[in-house]
Amino acid sequence: METAGRIYGDIAVIDDANVKDFWNNNAKKDSTLKSVLLGYDFCENSAELHNQKEANIVLDFIGRGRRKTILDIGCGIGRWAYNLKSILERYDGIDFSWEFIKAANNNFKDVDEISWYCMPATDIDKEKLLEKYDVVIATEVSMYINDEDLHKLYNNINDFTQKNSLLYIQDTTSLLETRLTLKDFDSKELKTKYNAIYRTRKEYETLFEKYLPEFKITGNGTELLLDKNSGARDETNARYWCFKKE
């Protein structure tokens, strides 16, 4: 069923180029937490509330002691480099938006253990990165990738991890019984057309079983990340999963 750019249940293909253009244009206008977390339509500090809650979850998950090598897929302005700076041995952030990569470079000038690369999550140049990482983070990435290409993201996650590597995935999901796709949706909040795929929790966990079979879920999937102040909507909310590779 489709209503003014909102497609319920059916599998619809979103335009990769339009998604990339949206994020580049968004970053040009505003390279802050609100631009990364799309917190324009909530309370003034909604993005900060979202980020702080998620930072505590991830630090509790990966530990606050030994320094770690971290690959951040979909790094945006580098919020995870900032959130995890106390435990970074090396951090590599990648994003398909050159505007976000430029902003990240400006935010972290001359920090030797932090590097930024403009490349898509589905086509990573492995020559520029470490062979393996202690931790891989992918937040708000899968929702902008069509079904036919998702295996490329998960294959990359497999390639960059080894036994005991940790993985944190967070995406905005549908709270309905079926997925919701926004396809060239005229967003009043964002003042532009917006594209995203909100899969259900069950859809994601089926994908994890298929493409990440060596990873054991150690935390959540059941808990919703956001409340009304930090970005919860009637039909969608962010979920997160913590994994360890066996």
**Nearest C-alpha neighbor of 221 from the set 158, 187, 173:** 173
| Two tokens, residue 173 | 């999901």
Q: Answer for the pair 32, 162: CB distance below 8 angstroms, yes or no.
A: no
**Nearest C-alpha neighbor of 162 from the set 122, 189, 135:** 135
Domain-located, residue 180: no
Query: In percent, how much of the chain has pLDDT > 70?
Result: 97
Identify the domain containing residue 116 by its residue range.
11-170+202-245
Q: Answer for the pair 182, 194: CB distance below 8 angstroms, yes or no.
A: yes
Q: 56-99: per-residue pLDDT in tens?
A: 999 999 999 899 999 999 999 999 999 999 999 999 999 999 99
Mean pLDDT of all residues in 134-138: 98
Which segment of 58-62, 146-150, 172-176, 184-188 scores lowest on mean pLDDT? 184-188
Domain-located, residue 186: no
Domain-located, residue 108: yes
| Two tokens, residue 155 | 């294959």
CATH code, domain carrying 39: 3.40.50.150
For residue 160, the model assigns a pLDDT of 98
Polymer length of the chain: 246
| pLDDT averaged over every residue in the chain | 93
Instruction: pLDDT band for 153, please (50, 70, 90 cuts).
Output: very high
Domain-located, residue 181: no
Domain-located, residue 143: yes
Which segment of 43-52, 62-71, 176-185 scores lowest on mean pLDDT? 43-52
Q: How far apart are CA 135 and CA 155, in angstroms?
A: 15
The number of folded domains in the chain is 1
Domain-located, residue 103: yes
| Angle, alpha carbons 153-156-162 (nearest 5°) | 135
> Residue type at 167?
L
Q: 191-210: per-residue pLDDT in tens?
A: 889 999 999 999 999 999 99
| Two tokens, residue 245 | 């590779």
Domain-located, residue 236: yes
Mean pLDDT of all residues in 32-60: 84
**Nearest C-alpha neighbor of 17 from the set 6, 9, 25:** 25
Predicted model pTM: 0.95
Q: How far apart are CA 230 and CA 161, in angstroms?
A: 31
Domain-located, residue 211: yes
For residue 189, the model assigns a pLDDT of 77
Instruction: pLDDT band for 121, please (50, 70, 90 cuts).
Output: very high
Mean pLDDT of all residues in 27-48: 78
